[in-house]
Structure 1
Amino acid sequence: MVSSSIPTVDLSPFLSEEGDEHGKKEAIETITQACSEHGFFNIMNHGIPTDLMSKALQLSKTFFQYPPEEKLKLSPAGGCDCELPIGYNIQPDHSVDKNEYFLVFQPGSSLNKYPENLPELRSVIEDLYTRFVGIGSLLESIINDCLGLPPNFLKEYNNEREWDFMAAFRYFPATESEANGITEHEDGNCITFVFQDEVGGLEVHKDGEWIPVVPAEGQIVVNVADFIQVLTNKKFKSATHRVVRSKGISRYSFGFFYNLHWDKWVEPLPQFTAEIGEPPKYKRFQVREYQKMRMMNKLDPPARPEDEIGITYYAIDT
């Protein structure tokens, strides 16, 4: 029988000065199993204040309720050399608008845009962003241990934080004919962190079924993404998920995307291929190329979901 939830991991042993080795071991075992099977888990006692997350959701809701002409003033500038649509974006389908999002880059970046009549939004987002960078680094270290890699291997491999980004999302209420907020997909980065309001809607594909991720105060959802799947030669799974919209009410959430530098080349590590006699399951590719294709899918969604570019684009037939 399929479990009705995803596991919750207590991160306090990694943040405590006492050094709870039993707690660390238990967390590593839980994360290893989750990443091997479906790529999703919750974290609690992670160090990000619940009040800060609640405030961010509240301010994003205020922003998204602005008139369209106000939000569009913060649309991405043409010719931006960052190659990310920084600012306000609407995510269209070919038939209906499903969600909108406000994307930010590094704190202090001149590329970021913020509404002048909501000054608190900037300070809250930048505080949240900085804290997520720290949590991303911690989870990367834990995953490094889960995989049995040499100490600090992933940290040294992924030692630049220039291409992390964060987004506030609003999913519009479901229509009579359409409830999908975002269709089934995997994320094109390393590790994703999500917290959502009480409406929920996030669902995880686990053991052949769709499992709702029920919002819990103070908890953050973590999923392993495409680059971890490639580096581990599919030992750890890039999590398959979707968002289902509710009727009559919008859903608000934040996502932080712990990424690789776009100039990085990615391929299965020898620890999971040559050193254990396994053939690589993916071709070598550059992050920039993959991210550009993924971004094109977001800005101009293909008519058929199966035509979207995913990590299988680089899969080696065996």
Structure 2
Amino acid sequence: MSEFHVPVVDISPYVAGGTAAERATVAAAVDAACREVGFIQITGHGIAPAAAAGLAGAIDDFFALPLETKKRWLRPAAENRGYTAPKSETLALSLGVQSETRMKDFFEAFNVGSAASDYPEAALLAEHYAENTWPEVDGFRDRVDAWRTEAGRVARTMVGIFEDALELAPGTIAGLARHPIEVLRMNNYALPDGTTVELDEDFIGMGEHTDYGIVTILWADRAKGLQVLHGGEWHDVSPADGALLINLGDLTTRLTNEQWLSTLHRVKPPIHVVDGIGTIQRRRSAAYFFDGDAEATVGPLPGFIDERHPRVYRDVTVDEHIHAKLRGSRAGVVNTDAAREADRVLNAAR
């Protein structure tokens, strides 16, 4: 692999009342990172270490339960809530890059998100705003909601930085997210203690994919596993101590007509192999997806279309886009509207 670094940006001027000049420096750094890499590490985000520790503890407490116990909180795939068992999804199908529809991604997850009851005054598309299921784990909801509130604040801060970085009028992107589809997905990559798995070419923690919405706020262990596609190669990424990873989603790519690209990434957990039998080093992460209002229409903004940059995306509603992505990853229906992202995967070094 060639040398690769995810830029680190201190966003504290946007969190703690910096000067206009300090904020402009942050916006310029974010613009450069989004044009060149599509992944950013942020410090100065203002989330207390205790909130991260609470989230990690909640993840540990839930995923330590027996599999059959966790399956009590399975939900229909269309609702995107509750527990996801290992090998229930194939993220690569959200890009349409895999012909075989057998689910194979070796991760388990638990999802919570914004619900229709959070916005009683709005007429919402119910599919995207399902009520949450909370497992019977002491303090789980309080710890998870504390993190989700902070991640939502950081996401909105990043939207403001994006608007400045792209020289957009305030509210241009924020106006697409007045009652956003918002999901916190807590992931666990592991096998029960003392068990092993036979390795084959299909073994992967989470298949290659782009995130679906505007921006993702990612908390992750520093254990290896996350890989980002850049320059036609896959590169390992681990967050700096105390940093959060920020990656662009497809909707931001559409808004900027690919001047900012959603980042293709995957997870391949570290495996210790003896005689073809492997054990997995445990890895945890929690991705907060900030995806915009379901009924909002998203397409290239006028300032990003010119002779050098012809329009490459049609307008879609957030509902249409998210629905097609989830039908791929969770229902096994190949997404046929992701040709540009799929080409990047298929052309990458494997």
Tell me if both proteins adopt one fold, taking TM over 0.5 as the criterion: yes
In 1, Cα distance between equivalents of 2:235 and 2:340: 26
Identity percentage over the alignment?
25
Superposed CA deviations along residues 49-90 of structure 1, whole A, max 9, x for unmatched, are 122112212221221121122111111158xxxx43211112
Partners of 1:95 and 1:291 lie apart in 2 by 19
CA distance in 2, matches of 1:246, 1:278: 40
Q: Which stretch shows the higher mean deviation, 254-263 or 209-218?
A: 209-218
Any conservation in 1 of the 2:110–2:185 contact (CA below 8 Å)?
Answer: yes
Please name the residue that 1:169 is paired with: 187
Whole-angstrom CA distance in 1 between matches of 2:329 and 2:186? 15
Aligned-partner residue type, residue 115 of structure 1: P
**Pick aligned residue for 1:100 from 105, 108, 129:** 108
| Larger RCO (CA within 8 A; separation ≥ 6) | 2
SS in 2 for 1:88: strand
Q: Does 1:63 align with 2:62?
A: yes
Task: Report the counterpart of residue 283 of structure 2 in structure 1.
Answer: 251
> How has the CA–CA distance of structure 1 residues 222 and 230 changed in structure 2, closer, same or farther, with 3 Å as cutoff?
same
How far, CA to CA, are the matches of 1:120 and 1:310 in structure 2? 41
Normalised by the size of structure 1, how large is the TM-score? 0.86
Shift of 1:278: 4.3
**What amino acid sits opposite 1:176 in the alignment?**
L
Q: 1:95 to 1:129 in 2, by over 3 A?
A: closer
What aligned pairs does 1:161-310 form with structure 2 within 5 A after superposition?
A: 161-172=179-190, 175-177=198-200, 178-247=202-271, 248-273=280-305, 278-301=309-332, 307-309=334-336
RMSD of the alignment, in Å? 2.6
Using a 3 Å threshold, how does the CA distance of structure 1 residues 8 and 313 change in structure 2: closer, same or farther? closer
Give the match's secondary structure for 1:98: coil
Deviation readout 1:130-177 (Å, 9 max, x if unpaired): 111111111001011111112332222x24234111110012357532
Q: Which runs of 4+ in 1 moved over 4 A?
A: 107-110, 307-310
Assess, with a 3 A threshold, how the Cα gap between structure 1 residues 285 and 96 changes in structure 2: closer, same or farther.
closer
Tell me the TM-score normalised to structure 2 length.
Answer: 0.79
Most deviating of 260-269 and 132-141: 260-269
Distance 1:169 1:12 in 2: 28
Letter in 1 for 2:185: A
Match for residue 339 of structure 2?
A: 312
Point out where structure 1 has 5 or more consecutive residues left out of the alignment. none
How far apart, CA to CA, are the structure 2 residues paired with 1:243 and 1:277? 35
Amino acid at match of 1:311: A
The offset of 1:181, in angstroms, is 1.2
Q: Matches of 2:341 and 2:12 in 1, distance apart?
A: 38
What is the deviation of 1:294? 1.2
Greater mean deviation of Cα atoms: 229-238 or 278-287: 278-287
Where 2:284 maps in the other structure, the secondary structure is strand
Distance in 1, matches of 2:167 and 2:270, equals 41
- 1-structure distance, mates of 2:267, 2:336: 18
Aligned to 1:84: 79
